[in-house]
Every structure is written in structure tokens, then in C-alpha cells.
Amino acid sequence: AQTVTQSQPEMSVQEAETVTLSCTYDTSESDYYLFWYKQPPSRQMILVIRQEAYKQQNATENRFSVNFQKAAKSFSLKISDSQLGDAAMYFCAYRGSGGSNYKLTFGKGTLLTVNP
Amino acid sequence: GAVVSQHPSWVICKSGTSVKIECRSLDFQATTMFWYRQFPKQSLMLMATSNEGSKATYEQGVEKDKFLINHASLTLSTLTVTSAHPEDSSFYICSAREIAGADNEQFFGPGTRLTVL
């Protein structure tokens, strides 16, 4: 079974600074998808960024980027120019390559605090 | 687009009663919907996968007779917590996978907070 590990229960960053959230995963599959989700206090899950394992280029969405290391099974999220609105719980998630396997496996989450 | 709603957003019930939670895809058709449970300050745990017109597939350790799931149409799935007890109090989240969309994204509902007294 696939597992997702987020080793940082909590992180904090100063406004306008950069922070990196760690995520590692374990899988025997060669093709899969990885995601970072944000869950603010409203508890609505928001997709931040996704990465297809077959793509070597790291995904980027505005201030959010990932460092995807397939051999190391590592998928970290970098938030640049942190804003107060970035404060939330961040979950790393894994999904298999398809067929009937569209299930998401989530890590335990990292609570990010942004200090003004 | 790609909006998922849940109703109710919160519910309080007495122990022993049943509660139904609805999950609707408002602007797309969802062949598959997922039900998650989230305890305070914890991650999302998948309870079951629901496919339109067929029986739900439950994760190991989830009581199918306790958590009844019905996916009667391409836009609606329901989760019924039967004979609810205080330990069933939790935050329940659904997500939906769009038929015509990219096959690697799920859209999440806003969640339902269930409190069993």
C-alpha cells in the first residue's frame, strides 16, 4: 500500500519569506500523481499544485512550486513571498495512475503559520 | 466551474438516530464520489468510494452497515450514518471526480460537521 509521510507537523514563516514543506511517499508504481492541498480554517480543501510522475519538470503555480525527486520519492512544496492568507493546514497526497484506482492517500498534514 | 456542495453543513443529532448527508456536483457529472472522515487536527481518511449505479467500495475497517452510501445519479451521492453514537462525531467530506475532466483531479465539498449527543 502507498504511504505518504509529512515529517513536519508545524511550520512557521515570516510574511514575504519563503518556506518549504516536506513530503515523502512510498510506492511500487512507476506512474502516479502527487498533489498538495491547502485546508484553511474554513476546512474547504483547495488544490494548490499537482505533479505527474512521468513529467521531469517541476510544477509551478505562481508563488507555489514543487521539488519532485522521483528516485528519492520526495515531493516538497515551496511557498515564496508568503502571505497571511497562506496560513493553513497543508496536505500532501498521492494517487495511482488510473483504472479503478482514483483514491487519494493523504499525509498527516503540516500546519503552516504565517507571522506578520 | 467544478463546484461540489454538501448538505447540511452541520448537524446535531441524538444518539441512536440516523443522519443523512448529501453530496452534489453542481455543474458537472461525477462518475465517482469519495467520502472522507476527518477528526480534529488530523488528516482525511477515505471511508468509501462511490460509483454511480453500483455498490460503494468501503475501506478496511469501515462498517458498511453503519455508513450507508448511495450514488443514485451522476450528481448526487448520500452518506447515511445509521444509529449514530458520540464516537461518530466528526467532519465528513465528500469529493467528486468529473467524467469529462482530467482524470487526475477530484473536487471537494465544503464538509459536514456531525455532532452526536
pLDDT for A9-50, tens place per residue? Answer: 999 999 999 999 999 999 988 889 999 999 999 999 999 999
Supply B31's cell numbers: 462518475
Q: What share of chain A has pLDDT > 90, as a percent?
A: 87
Report pLDDT for B51. Answer: 86
Q: Is the pLDDT of residue A97 over 90?
A: no
Contacts of A71 (CB under 8 A, 6+ apart): none
DSSP A47-62: EEEEEETT--SPPEET
What's the average model confidence in pLDDT over B43-55? 90
Does B46 sit within 8 Å of A104, measured CB to CB? yes
B103: chain A residues, CB-CB within 8 Å: 98, 102
Report pLDDT for A45. Answer: 96
CA distance A29 to chain B (A): 16
Looking at A56-60, A66-70, A97-101, which range is the least confident one? A97-101
Q: Is the pLDDT of residue A100 over 60?
A: no
B95: chain A residues, CB-CB within 8 Å: 45, 104
